[in-house]
Chain A
Amino acid sequence: MTQTLALFMDAYRLLNARKIFWITLVLSLLVVSSFALVGIDDEGISIAWWDLGIPEINTGAGGYTKAWFYKTMFTSLGINIWLTWVATILGLVTTASIFPEFVTAGSIDIILSKPIGRFRLFLTKYTTGLLFVILQVSVFTGASFLVIGLRGGVWEPGLFIAIPLVVLFFSYLFSVCAVLGIITRSTIASLLLTILFWFMLFIVQSAEQSLMVFDMLVQQRVTAYEDAVERTRQRLETVEDPDDMERWGFLHETLEKREVSLAAAQGSSDNLETWHNGLLGVMTVLPKTGETIQLIERWTIDLAELPEMSGETSRPMISEDDQFTPDEEKLGKDIQDAIRNRSPWWILGTSLLFEIFILCIGAWRFQRRDF
């Protein structure tokens, strides 16, 4: 325990000595302060003393609540943009040097000559590397909790779920950075390769979500063509002498065209589903950075807090001139449901498995290496 505490103390001293840590912390507090400047009441939104009077946001009875407003600001701006992008990049820049400096000749000799096993040393050092993000996100969430409580009138302890989730998100990237640091012994190389890896994750996740949206859209197209084919058939059944091609030839032609379009849409749907499932398989073995962060929104914002939707969903349609009109409201809801219904165990469990796998590689390398 003494050794673990000493390593944590050393990590704190390292952060304390780095200006970027304090700059990030001050910026975090500025971001939270900006939340506090934004006010919301029945008359609309205000910034400090200025009433913006934005009519699109219904803040009156039956509209958006204060709690929803501040929590959305917290998740959308605070977490999704500030902590997951800006603060994470600053965090990686600050911590990328931890392992390359740790294994520098002359430094590693002293630490390895102490009565502490290499495996424990590696894991403890890795954990101390997360101290940057633990402190940053704790301060940010604590300050946001106060702002939402004081300004929004809602004391929402659920916000603190952001601390473990953001730390977990950062840990996926830091595990890669740490192992690259051990292997390459270069801060620049480990930082750049980690950012490249993160970008690759972003591409894979974006592609998966895009394919999911396309798939849903094509599903709507299939439904619309099925309806259109059915409608055309019914019409042909109801007409007098449907085999009179001179009179009803255009209906046969429309039916045939729609059946061809339906088959094409079904083919596209099958293809998209195959690709989507393939990408989902790839995603399963990779850390799910975006989805881990989305869990914060899932767990802090209850959909019931949103104002009632119009509830008027219409079936997707094929018009008489064969134009497809999707049901956008249903599409939006389906996407939201699909994302919200993904199992947290799948999101966090598989991501953690990836992290453990990467850390095992790092620990093995650290264990076997001569310094």
Chain B
Amino acid sequence: MQPCVAFGSLCNSMSSNGYVIDVHDVHKTYKKRIKALQGVDLQVGSGEIFGLLGPNGAGKSTLVKILMTVVRPDKIGGTFLGASVGQKEPLSKVGYLPEHHHFPGYLTGLQVIEFSGAMCGMPKRERRANAGKLLDRVGMTRWGSSRLNSYSKGMLQRVGLAQALVNDPKVVLLDEPTDGVDPVGRREIRDLLLELRDEGHSIFLNSHLLSELEMVCDRVAIMVQGRVSMQGTIDELTKDSKRYEIQVLGPCPAWIESHPDASVETVEAEARISIATDDPEAIQPIIDRLRNEGRSITRVHAVRDSLEELFMRAVVDESGNVAAPGAQIESRRGSGGDAP
């Protein structure tokens, strides 16, 4: 996997070698006004779990649909599994579970998985064998012969996941895979995703559940209003936010405010001193001085932004306004706006 931190289009110059998805300058406008995608650049490495985040209407699903040939882009460069995006052949090695999937209620779980395999061109014996194994893998063996109209949402999600895996795909695109699944099921799905990655599958996740993405994703991209605003490993993206926090009893010492990397916050009877550095050596003199002054240090720990904080940073502009949900709408008079 090749790490890449992209603010804007830093990854443009990277070779597509090693990437299963490598798309550049993706544009899509609906009804000539709604700008869903405005020049997206995105790379997904082989054998990684990649998370795509963004507020509602940011263009995440449109991007996935373009990759799956469900939506036609206005403009796109790059490749998907080594072929131009829009070609059908690579899709035989791709698994997909859309967000609001709808499987016919007259089919059984087993039939849904087999149908998906057949549509990928798999021979009958192979897809039948895979369907049985996958039902077992998603914990649905007992329900495999029941019709889908008797399934709960979580069960549908599990079968949906199984049908996306029937063709042993190189890349699996999952749009909100844990939607409607109970906490135990979510954990099982997370474990399954990690297993799949270990088996060499690349996984592209679209989700709003930032804490879940944080637990499984190797790399993430954050989309806001049709553009990728950040892309990279969580570690890389949060590198600048790394800091040490020292909590001491009593008021904050006056001398700390003159420290260039320090910020102070008072919480009840404690002062919380935050030093913006990822170097533990840099905080030793501060700790020594506090000890010399006889202050009681209650806690010293290294912190960094969570994915949620990172996300919030991405969706807030320079003037502190949170980006409105939805794609940008070009008004008929030419000025911009946001889709509801």
**A residues apposed to B, CB below 8 Å:** 2-3, 5-6, 9-10, 13-14, 16-17, 101, 104-117, 368, 370-371
* Cα distance, A8 to B89, chains bound together (Å): 22
Cβ of B88 and Cβ of A110 under 8 Å apart? no
Cβ of B70 and Cβ of A5 under 8 Å apart? no
Residues of A within 8 A of B122 (CB): 2
* Cα distance, A117 to B88, chains bound together (Å): 7
Cβ of B70 and Cβ of A3 under 8 Å apart? no
Cβ of B123 and Cβ of A370 under 8 Å apart? no
- Identity of the chain A residue whose Cβ is nearest the Cβ of B173 in the assembled complex: A113
For this complex, into which size category does the number of interface residues on chain B fall? 20 to 34
Residues of A within 8 A of B70 (CB): 108-109, 112-113, 370-371
Cβ of B72 and Cβ of A3 under 8 Å apart? no
B244 within 8 Å of A (CB atoms): no
Cβ of B118 and Cβ of A5 under 8 Å apart? yes
Q: How far is the CB of B57 from chain A (nearest CB, A)?
A: 15
* Cα distance, A117 to B89, chains bound together (Å): 10
Cβ of B88 and Cβ of A368 under 8 Å apart? no
13 new A-B contacts, CB < 8 A, other than A104-B102, A115-B119, A370-B72, are A2-B121, A2-B124, A3-B119, A3-B121, A9-B118, A13-B104, A106-B101, A109-B65, A109-B98, A112-B68, A113-B98, A115-B121, A116-B119
Cβ of A109 and Cβ of B118 under 8 Å apart? no
Cβ of A111 and Cβ of B106 under 8 Å apart? no
What are 21 A-B interface contacts by the 8 Å CB criterion?
A2-B121, A2-B122, A2-B124, A3-B118, A3-B121, A5-B118, A10-B104, A10-B107, A13-B104, A13-B111, A14-B106, A17-B106, A104-B102, A106-B100, A110-B101, A110-B103, A110-B116, A114-B91, A114-B116, A114-B120, A371-B70
Cβ of A115 and Cβ of B88 under 8 Å apart? yes
CB contact under 8 A between A109 and B120, given known A10-B115, A14-B104, A14-B106 = no
* Cα distance, A111 to B104, chains bound together (Å): 12
- Of A16, A107, A117, which is in contact with the most chain B CB atoms at under 10 Å from its CB? A107
B94 within 8 Å of A (CB atoms): yes
Cβ of B118 and Cβ of A6 under 8 Å apart? yes
B96 within 8 Å of A (CB atoms): yes
Q: How far is the CB of B155 from chain A (nearest CB, A)?
A: 16
- Identity of the chain B residue whose Cβ is nearest the Cβ of A112 in the assembled complex: B70
By Cβ-Cβ distance, the 8 closest A-B pairs, closest first, are A6-B118, A17-B106, A106-B102, A114-B119, A113-B68, A109-B98, A113-B96, A115-B92
Cβ of A113 and Cβ of B91 under 8 Å apart? yes
Task: Choose one: B71, B92, B102, B116; the contact of A370 (CB below 8 Å).
Answer: B71
Q: How far is the CB of A172 from chain B (nearest CB, A)?
A: 27
Q: How far is the CB of B254 from chain A (nearest CB, A)?
A: 61
**B residues apposed to A, CB below 8 Å:** 30, 65, 68-72, 88-92, 94, 96, 98-104, 106-107, 111, 115-116, 118-124, 163
Residues of A within 8 A of B163 (CB): 110
Residues of B within 8 A of A107 (CB): 101-104
Cβ of B88 and Cβ of A116 under 8 Å apart? yes
Interface of A is mostly: helix
CB contact under 8 A between A13 and B106, given known A2-B123, A370-B70 = yes
* Cα distance, A117 to B96, chains bound together (Å): 17
* Cα distance, A17 to B148, chains bound together (Å): 12
Q: How far is the CB of A245 from chain B (nearest CB, A)?
A: 85
Residues of B within 8 A of A108 (CB): 70
Residues of A within 8 A of B111 (CB): 13
Task: Choose one: B72, B91, B101; the contact of A109 (CB below 8 Å).
Answer: B101
Cβ of B71 and Cβ of A371 under 8 Å apart? yes
* Cα distance, A17 to B111, chains bound together (Å): 14
Task: Choose one: B30, B98, B106, B118; the contact of A106 (CB below 8 Å).
Answer: B98
Cβ of A113 and Cβ of B71 under 8 Å apart? no
* Cα distance, A16 to B108, chains bound together (Å): 13
Residues of B within 8 A of A368 (CB): 72
- Identity of the chain A residue whose Cβ is nearest the Cβ of B99 in the assembled complex: A106
Residues of B within 8 A of A6 (CB): 115, 118-119
- Identity of the chain A residue whose Cβ is nearest the Cβ of B93 in the assembled complex: A115
Q: How far is the CB of A94 from chain B (nearest CB, A)?
A: 13
Residues of B within 8 A of A14 (CB): 104, 106
Residues of A within 8 A of B115 (CB): 6, 9-10
- Identity of the chain A residue whose Cβ is nearest the Cβ of B67 in the assembled complex: A113
* Cα distance, A11 to B103, chains bound together (Å): 14
Residues of B within 8 A of A370 (CB): 30, 65, 70-72
* Cα distance, A2 to B120, chains bound together (Å): 9
Cβ of A13 and Cβ of B107 under 8 Å apart? yes
Residues of B within 8 A of A16 (CB): 106
* Cα distance, A16 to B107, chains bound together (Å): 11
Residues of A within 8 A of B99 (CB): 106
Cβ of B101 and Cβ of A115 under 8 Å apart? no
Residues of B within 8 A of A106 (CB): 98-102
Cβ of A111 and Cβ of B65 under 8 Å apart? no
- Of B30, B68, B98, B107, which is in contact with the most chain A CB atoms at under 10 Å from its CB? B98
